[in-house]
């Protein structure tokens, strides 16, 4: 479960990116995080991945309190959250298999576990048999599927995605979003930041709207939420 209570984040240069954000995301939810550029969406994602810590308020992620977490605990908190970026962040000189294996090995998986798990996850994201390909031998949509597979490979409770379809054409975007919906249906909590109104309206999901570091709307189904 994710719970933000009056969360403030002021960057070192004085920018007040978040000014009292509160919301709660239950296990198994699918949530769109929307809002204009610079409103603080990525800042929220960075809080959820432990990349930054809040300057005020409380952030609880899957049982970890981010204002009290120690450096030693942060890796274990991160294992509960899979992350997906707009630019995929695959390692160009590693095959699909090795990209996924890196993520598994990093948390102590054995070669045997890795060999057993990767084909299953690739199958889940629709890339069965693509193990030996390099990222530059895949389309953008396929690369993003590899990134999703990597986020899933350690079986996290939550997946957070910061504009995962930002680099893809509308058809690919719809496929990726549908894939995330399917992953959510299998029990993983999903939080997706997006600009694409059409996509948000296509899926009948909860939408949290952020403006100038505040929550200005939280409801089902539509991008346009009145204040």
Partner 1 sequence: MKHNFQYFFKEGVSNMFSHGFMSFAAIGITVACLLIMGTFSLVAYNANENLADLQRENAILAFVDENLDDNAVKGLQQELECVENVSECTFISREEAKKDYLEQYDDNDLYSNLDDDVFRHRYVIHMTDPGQMLATKELVEGVDGIAWVRADEAISNGFVTVRNIASVVSIALIAILLIISVFIISNTIKLTTFDRREEIAIMKMVGATDGFIRWPFVYEGLMLGICGAVIAFFLQWLLYSAITSGIANSDTLQLLRVVPFDGIWVPVAVIFLIVGILVGVGGSLTAIRKFLRV
Ligand X SMILES: Nc1ncnc2c1ncn2[C@@H]1O[C@H](COP(=O)(O)OP(=O)(O)OP(=O)(O)O)[C@@H](O)[C@H]1O
Which one of residues 46, 76, 126, 216 is an interface residue with partner 1 (CB under 8 A)? 76
Q: Under DSSP, is residue 63 helix (H, G, I), strand (E, B) or coil?
A: coil
**Residue 15 within binding range of ligand X, rule CB under 6 A:** yes
In whole angstroms, give the CA distance from residue 39 to residue 53: 18
Using an 8 Å Cβ cutoff, are 165 and 196 in contact?
yes
The interface partner of residue 89, options being Mg ion, ligand X, partner 1, none and the CB cut-off 5 to 8 Å by kind, is: partner 1
Question: Nearest 5°: phi and psi at 139?
Answer: -75, 165
**Residue 47 within binding range of ligand X, rule CB under 6 A:** no
The interface partner of residue 188, options being Mg ion, ligand X, partner 1, none and the CB cut-off 5 to 8 Å by kind, is: none
**Residue 127 within binding range of partner 1, rule CB under 8 A:** no
- Sign of the alpha-carbon torsion through 217, 30, 5, 214: negative
- Sign of the alpha-carbon torsion through 81, 87, 88, 89: negative
The interface partner of residue 91, options being Mg ion, ligand X, partner 1, none and the CB cut-off 5 to 8 Å by kind, is: partner 1
Using an 8 Å Cβ cutoff, are 216 and 209 in contact?
yes
Minimum CB distance to partner 1, residue 109 (Å):
10
Which stretch of DSSP H or E encloses residue 81? Answer: strand 81-85
Minimum CB distance to ligand X, residue 13 (Å):
5
Using an 8 Å Cβ cutoff, are 74 and 68 in contact?
no
Q: Are strands 206-211 and 214-220 parallel, antiparallel or unpaired?
A: antiparallel
Which one of residues 91, 137, 155, 224 is an interface residue with partner 1 (CB under 8 A)? 91
Is the Cβ of residue 13 or residue 70 nearer to ligand X in the bound state?
13
The interface partner of residue 37, options being Mg ion, ligand X, partner 1, none and the CB cut-off 5 to 8 Å by kind, is: ligand X
**Residue 106 within binding range of partner 1, rule CB under 8 A:** yes
In whole angstroms, give the CA distance from residue 149 to residue 126: 10
Minimum CB distance to partner 1, residue 160 (Å):
11
Segment 171 to 200, residues that bind partner 1, using CB under 8 A: none
List interacting residues with partner 1 (CB under 8 A): 49, 51, 71-72, 74-79, 82-83, 89, 91, 102-103, 105-108, 150, 154
């Amino acid at each position: 479960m994710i719970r933000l209570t009056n969360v403030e984040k002021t960057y070192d240069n004085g920018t007040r990116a978040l000014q009292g954000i509160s919301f709660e995301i239950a296990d198994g939810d699918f949530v769109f995080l929307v809002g204009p550029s610079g409103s603080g969406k990525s800042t929220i994602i960075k809080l959820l991945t432990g990349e930054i810590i809040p300057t005020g308020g409380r952030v609880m992620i899957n049982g970890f309190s981010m204002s009290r977490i120690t450096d030693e605990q942060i890796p274990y908190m991160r294992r509960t959250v899979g992350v997906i970026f707009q630019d995929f962040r695959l390692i160009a000189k590693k095959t699909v298999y090795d990209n996924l294996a890196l993520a598994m090995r990093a948390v102590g998986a054995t070669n045997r576990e890795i060999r057993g798990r990767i084909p299953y996850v690739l199958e889940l994201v629709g890339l069965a048999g693509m193990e030996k390909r390099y990222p530059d031998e895949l389309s953008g949509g396929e690369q993003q599927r590899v990134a999703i597979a990597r986020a899933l490979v350690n079986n996290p409770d939550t997946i957070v995605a910061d504009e995962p379809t930002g680099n893809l054409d509308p058809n690919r975007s719809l496929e990726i979003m549908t894939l995330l919906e399917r992953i959510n249906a299998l029990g993983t909590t999903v939080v997706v930041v997006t600009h694409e109104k059409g996509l948000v309206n296509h899926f009948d999901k909860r939408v949290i709207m952020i403006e100038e570091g505040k929550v200005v709307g939280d409801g089902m189904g539509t991008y346009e939420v009145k204040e």
